[in-house]
């Protein structure tokens, strides 16, 4: 049976190009998503072997989507597409349960290898990224724990993207009162009480691009 894939990127042309690449290699793209929230929802529906996630997506970015997939779709392995080589991004990805980390400037040559390796239960890093980063992560026992729930991270990302509480509620399919409650709780947990400071925190945590 072919490896079944959910493909998530907010750019239609990028998704089309990736889909063409994957289908030439006889992989089966079972669904496409334009944001991380849709990627999680479609993975829950289709139970793919692999979810290929762009790191920068609205509503739910690739790292947070991967973290949610590891909770709700344990058999679906996440591969992240990114332009970032910095250690902190790799740490965040590993912490979220990502199994493959592919640089966009090498995606044509690397993505196929990544899917093949990850589907065999291995971990994949694009060439040029030091595996010492992975080993350092694995040996580090005092990593800070993210205090926010998945829903709180979603609300935080939407706030950082400039959405109002009402807009966030609509996008997440929850009531305005519930969205406001999530906002208040995340501000209390982080001890941050200004929107500008929340945005800076979201940038530091890689929830949005600076």
Domains and CATH numbers, the chain: 4-139 (3.40.50.2300), 150-204 (1.10.10.10)
pLDDT at 139 over 70: no
Q: What is the DSSP string of 116-154?
A: HHHHTT--EE-TTS-HHHHHHHHH---PPPP-S-HHHHH
Q: What is the pLDDT of residues 60-71, one digit of tens each?
A: 899 989 989 988
Percent above pLDDT 90 for the chain: 50
Given its phi and psi angles, is residue 26 left (phi above 0), alpha (psi -120 to 50 degrees) or beta? Answer: left
CA distance 203 to 121: 31
Q: What is the pLDDT of residues 43-93, one digit of tens each?
A: 999 999 999 999 988 888 999 899 899 889 989 999 999 888 777 788 888
Do residues 92 and 81 make contact, with C-beta atoms less than 8 angstroms apart? no
Do residues 62 and 54 make contact, with C-beta atoms less than 8 angstroms apart? yes
């Amino acid at each position: 049976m072919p490896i079944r894939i959910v493909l998530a990127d907010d750019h239609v042309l990028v998704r089309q190009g990736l889909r063409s690449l994957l289908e030439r290699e006889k992989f089966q793209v079972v669904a496409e998503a334009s944001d991380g929230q849709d990627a999680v929802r479609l993975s829950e529906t289709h139970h793919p072997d692999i979810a290929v996630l762009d790191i920068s997506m609205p509503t739910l970015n690739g790292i947070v989507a991967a973290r949610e997939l590891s909770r709700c779709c344990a058999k679906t392995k996440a591969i992240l597409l990114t332009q970032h080589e910095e250690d902190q991004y790799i740490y965040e990805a590993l912490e979220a349960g990502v199994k493959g980390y592919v640089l966009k400037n090498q995606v044509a040559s690397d993505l196929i290898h990544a899917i093949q390796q990850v589907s065999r239960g291995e971990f994949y890093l694009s060439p040029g990224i030091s595996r010492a980063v992975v080993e350092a992560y694995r040996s580090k026992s005092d990593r800070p724990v993210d205090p926010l729930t998945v829903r709180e991270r979603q609300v935080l990302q939407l706030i950082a993207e400039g959405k109002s509480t009402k807009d966030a509620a609509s996008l997440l399919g929850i009531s305005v009162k519930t969205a406001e409650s999530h906002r208040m709780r995340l501000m209390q947990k982080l001890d941050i009480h200004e929107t500008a400071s929340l945005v800076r925190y979201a940038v530091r945590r890689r929830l949005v691009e600076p």
